[in-house]
Amino acid sequence: MADKKISELTELTTPDGTEELVVNDSGVSKKVQIDNLIADNGLSGDKIDGGTISNFTSTGIDDNATSTAITIDASENVALTNGMTIGGFGTIGIQSTNNLTIGGSVADHAGIQFGTEAILPQIATVNANGTVDLGGGTVRFRDVYASSIKFNGDTAAANALDDYEEGTWTPVVKVGTTTNTGTLISAVYTKIGRQVTVYCSISSITLSGTGNLTIEGLPFVCGINHGMPGASRYDNINTGGVMVTLTNSGTSIISCQNYDSTSGWTGSTNNAHLGATYHLYNVSMTYFV
């Protein structure tokens, strides 16, 4: 059947037994035989021919690849078999059988590969070792949460940096078993891995009790004996030399020891070396947990 306008169709008077489509043309019923609307008798050329679209120019998504390049399942999930190129500058794809990749395809542009329990850095869709920064000088991430950090390809668990912490602590000054009270000025600490550095300053401490001078309440229990001797500035404490602070393994206590250049270590600082009111200024030391 040649292409016809509706007004050119034959007027329907009585059904003639064939399968027909009835069309109303300004109150006049017209008929079109169904056979003329389907298969090769229907629209052809640059229209619909044999159930396919030919001579078609896409204004949106255009699938010029195989029939499975883009698929939509019964749940309306869209699958891209061979990945996607975005604007000629980026890609979403698959590498190493099942690793999703997202990144720039231009030289020096970063991307990532989602591997087995790892996110790997890439440059121009190729895995890159030590060449991709996380953030920038003026565009930074706010917080990074990690169980540990390993440097320069080291995989040993013992070499992982697994803790950094800053805080305050509460030093308790004792002579023997008796707490000596004073004015706490400051008490802070920093922990990097196993290393802990503590500082405290306490003034106007009233002497009470008998026995050795200690400072209790370290933020972490000491892991080795003595650690690194600490530096202190103190007042109204007379040991005949200098007072040195040390830690003891398995405790959270700073002990105070006397030292002079002639006799060496002369024992613990005790109540006999302390004035009625004494001061522990700038007590600082480092130890290991």
Domain that holds residue 86: 70-145
The residue type found at 161 is L
The CB density around residue 175, as the number of other CB atoms within 10 Å, is 21
239 part of a folded domain: yes
Q: Within this chain, do residues 205 and 121 fall inside the same structural domain, yes or no?
A: no
Residue 141 is predicted with a pLDDT of 86
Helix/strand/coil (H/E/C) assignment for every residue in 111-168: EEEEECCEEEEEECCEECCCCCCCCCCCCCCCCCCCCCECCCCCCCHHHCECCEEEEE
Residue 59 is predicted with a pLDDT of 59
For 286, residues 6+ apart whose C-beta sits below 8 A from its C-beta are: 195, 196, 197, 198, 227, 228, 230
Q: What is the pLDDT of residues 98-138, one digit of tens each?
A: 888 888 888 888 998 998 888 889 888 888 888 888 888 89
Q: Within this chain, do residues 180 and 270 fall inside the same structural domain, yes or no?
A: yes
Q: What is the pLDDT of residues 164-215, one digit of tens each?
A: 999 999 999 999 999 999 999 999 999 999 999 999 999 999 999 999 999 9
The residue type found at 124 is A
Q: Within this chain, do residues 180 and 136 fall inside the same structural domain, yes or no?
A: no
- According to DSSP, residue 82 is labeled T
Contact 20, 12 (CB under 8 A): yes
The structure's pTM equals 0.64
22 part of a folded domain: yes
90 part of a folded domain: yes
CA–CA dist 166, 168 (Å, integer) = 7
Q: What is the pLDDT of residues 239-280, one digit of tens each?
A: 989 999 999 889 999 999 999 888 888 899 999 999 999 999
Q: Within this chain, do residues 174 and 206 fall inside the same structural domain, yes or no?
A: yes
The SS3 call for residue 273 is helix
HSE on the CB side for 91, CA within 13 Å?
21
- According to DSSP, residue 41 is labeled G
Residue 14 is predicted with a pLDDT of 57
152 part of a folded domain: no
Q: Looking at residues 142-146, what average pLDDT do you find?
A: 85
209 part of a folded domain: yes
**Burial level of 113, CB count in 10 A (0-12/13-18/19+)?**
buried
Q: Within this chain, do residues 183 and 277 fall inside the same structural domain, yes or no?
A: yes
CA–CA dist 97, 200 (Å, integer) = 58
64 part of a folded domain: no
Q: Within this chain, do residues 139 and 171 fall inside the same structural domain, yes or no?
A: no
Q: Within this chain, do residues 170 and 284 fall inside the same structural domain, yes or no?
A: yes
Q: Within this chain, do residues 98 and 176 fall inside the same structural domain, yes or no?
A: no
Residue 202 is predicted with a pLDDT of 98
Please give the backbone phi and psi of residue 188, each rounded to the nearest 5 degrees, phi first.
-135, 165
Q: How do 226-237 and 274-288 pair as beta strands? A: antiparallel
Residue 52 is predicted with a pLDDT of 58
For 287, residues 6+ apart whose C-beta sits below 8 A from its C-beta are: 195, 196, 198, 218, 222, 223, 224, 227, 228, 247
Q: Within this chain, do residues 26 and 133 fall inside the same structural domain, yes or no?
A: no
Residue 2 is predicted with a pLDDT of 55
Q: What is the pLDDT of residues 9-65, one digit of tens each?
A: 666 555 555 666 666 667 777 666 666 555 444 444 455 445 555 566 665 555 555
Domain count, the chain: 3
151 part of a folded domain: no
257 part of a folded domain: yes
Q: Within this chain, do residues 182 and 218 fall inside the same structural domain, yes or no?
A: yes
**Burial level of 200, CB count in 10 A (0-12/13-18/19+)?**
buried
Q: Within this chain, do residues 181 and 140 fall inside the same structural domain, yes or no?
A: no
Q: Within this chain, do residues 197 and 261 fall inside the same structural domain, yes or no?
A: yes
